[in-house]
Chains A and B, each alone.
Chain A
Amino acid sequence: MQLARVIGTVVSTVKNESLHGRKLLVVQTIDRNLESIGKPMVAIDAVGAGVGELVFWCRGKEASFPFKREDTPTDCTIVGIVDSEQHVTR
């Protein structure tokens, strides 16, 4: 899992049926000093995160586990919201 900042939203009307009703967010991965690393990704939200929040996300097949795990095509899912930046111990 990696820390990230939610930096935006994605709207998609035509999508695979198994993604209907899922919220898509743009996340920028950050390091422990809260500096951006790598390129932004599109993630499915499993916890109700919003733009500007500090979250952590998981990649790979495990990303589908919060949902119907055999039916949700995602390789990037937000699985937790960090309470505040002070909770990231550097």
Chain B
Amino acid sequence: MIIARILGTVVATQKDERLRGKKLLIVRPINVDGSDTTGYVVAVDTVGAGFHERVLVVAGSSARLAQGMKDVPVDAAIVGVIDTVDVK
């Protein structure tokens, strides 16, 4: 899993039926110290995360294993809102 920050939202009307009702967010991977990296990923939200929050993103086929994501065509899912990261 990676740590990412929510940058924005995506609105899509025409989409796979199984994606209906799912919130799509643009997230940018960040370092453990909170600094930004480059690039972005569109991820499906499973926890009700909001703009600018730090979140946990699962990538690949594991994203489908999150509750509510069974058989949904996604390869990135937000599975947690991060409270703290403590790195020694």
Contact = CB atoms under 8 A, between A and B. Distances in A.
Interface of A: 7-19, 24, 26, 39-44, 51-52, 60-61, 63-64, 69-76
A75 B85 contact: no
Contacts of A41: 1-2
A40 B35 CA distance: 13
A16 to B, nearest CB: 4
Contacts of B63: 73, 75
B88 A64 contact: no
A10 B85 contact: yes
B27 to A, nearest CB: 14
Contacts of A24: 1, 56, 80
Q: Is the interface of B mostly helix, strand, loop or mixed?
A: mixed
Nearest to B32: A40
B66 to A, nearest CB: 4
A18 B32 CA distance: 24
A69 B65 CA distance: 8
A18 B56 contact: no
Contacts of A12: 56, 80-83
B19 interface: no
B84 interface: yes
